[in-house]
Amino acid sequence: MTPRPAAARPVGTTTRGTTHPNRLRRMDRWIAAAHGAELRRAAEPVAVDLGYGAAPWTAVELLHRLRRVAPHARVVGIEIDPARVAAAAPYAREGLDFVRGGFEVPLARRPQLIRAANVLRQYDEAAVADVWRRLCARLAPATPDSRGGLLVEGTCDEIGRRHVWVALGPEGPRTVTFAARLASLERPSDLAERLPKALIHRNVPGEPVHAFLRDFDRAWAAAAPYASYGARQRWQRAVRELTADWPVVDGPVRWRQGEVTVAWGALAPRG
């Protein structure tokens, strides 16, 4: 993958770099389902693992998972720390490269996908909108036959049991997805601790995301009789109840995976 001419210095700051194998499997599974067709339509689909951390596991896994749905996909791991890029170099292979960079995404070709997982948690909330705009501007543009590239930005716990992410296109934010290993979930609002930076400080009365999690907990409690059939059945019933008042944009196929996706506009911060 040919990088763009290097800027004076990458845009952003070094993350903690914490990473574990299989940490992003839930996010990757959703990306493959939601964006696989767009990747297949692209002549040379490029995906970016932005801020992959101290080890390259997530970039290696992203290539493997994307190629199941888009055999010609390529992945570029981008890190701001040159030592991390050097450490990842031995893992480069056909379809997988590692380069130094940051939010400027220093690639000659605009990517069809940018995944930025656990990157913005260390930033101030006020910085998020500018980072989103910068990254969305680097995505492959929309065309008459395509919605354009996808930015997936969010947070998960250390071993990938709980995730929340925002999906954005070239035009801006589209949806918010909540995903969990249901066997370890006591109530849906447990996911609040993994809200992305744009939402985590908005989980207070009067904000839409707080109201959503409150209603989700109520639907979960009402679905308690379904627990005898398993946590998956209880989750599906609770999500179905949510659809009466919230713009849930996915369906039972995704719900069975322990996911629910809601239109961004319904959860966007007020003011």
Instruction: Compute the distance between CA of residue 43 and CA of residue 75 in angstroms, rounded to an integer.
Output: 14
pTM for this one? 0.95
Q: Do 247 and 262 contact (CB within 8 A), yes or no?
A: yes
Instruction: Compute the distance between CA of residue 80 and CA of residue 70 in angstroms, rounded to an integer.
Output: 28
pLDDT band at 97 (very low <50, low <70, confident <90, very high): very high
Cα atoms in the Cβ-side hemisphere of radius 13 Å centred on 192: 18
**Amino acid identity, residue 30?**
W
Pairing state of beta strands 113-117 and 46-50? parallel
Instruction: Compute the distance between CA of residue 260 and CA of residue 271 in angstroms, rounded to an integer.
Output: 25
Mean pLDDT (the chain, rounded) = 95
Q: Which residue has the higher pLDDT, 135 or 8?
A: 135
Averaged pLDDT, 197-222: 98
Pairing state of beta strands 74-79 and 96-100? parallel
Cβ contacts of 165 within 8 Å, gap of 6 or more: 27, 30, 117, 152, 153, 154, 155, 176, 177, 179, 196
Instruction: Compute the distance between CA of residue 104 and CA of residue 138 in angstroms, rounded to an integer.
Output: 8
Per residue in 210-224, pLDDT (tens digit) is: 999 999 999 999 999
Instruction: Compute the distance between CA of residue 236 and CA of residue 216 in angstroms, rounded to an integer.
Output: 11
Cβ contacts of 54 within 8 Å, gap of 6 or more: 17, 18, 19, 84, 87
pLDDT score of 4 more than 70: no
Q: Which domains does the chain have, with CATH numbers?
A: 25-181+247-266 (3.40.50)
Q: What is the separation, in whole angstroms, between the first and last Cα of the chain?
A: 41
- According to DSSP, residue 4 is labeled P
Structure tokens at 67: 């190629």
- Cα distances from 251 to residues 37, 176, 211, 247, in angstroms, run 18, 14, 21, 11
Averaged pLDDT, 54-77: 97
Per residue in 121-140, pLDDT (tens digit) is: 989 999 999 999 999 999 99
Q: Do 73 and 45 contact (CB within 8 A), yes or no?
A: yes
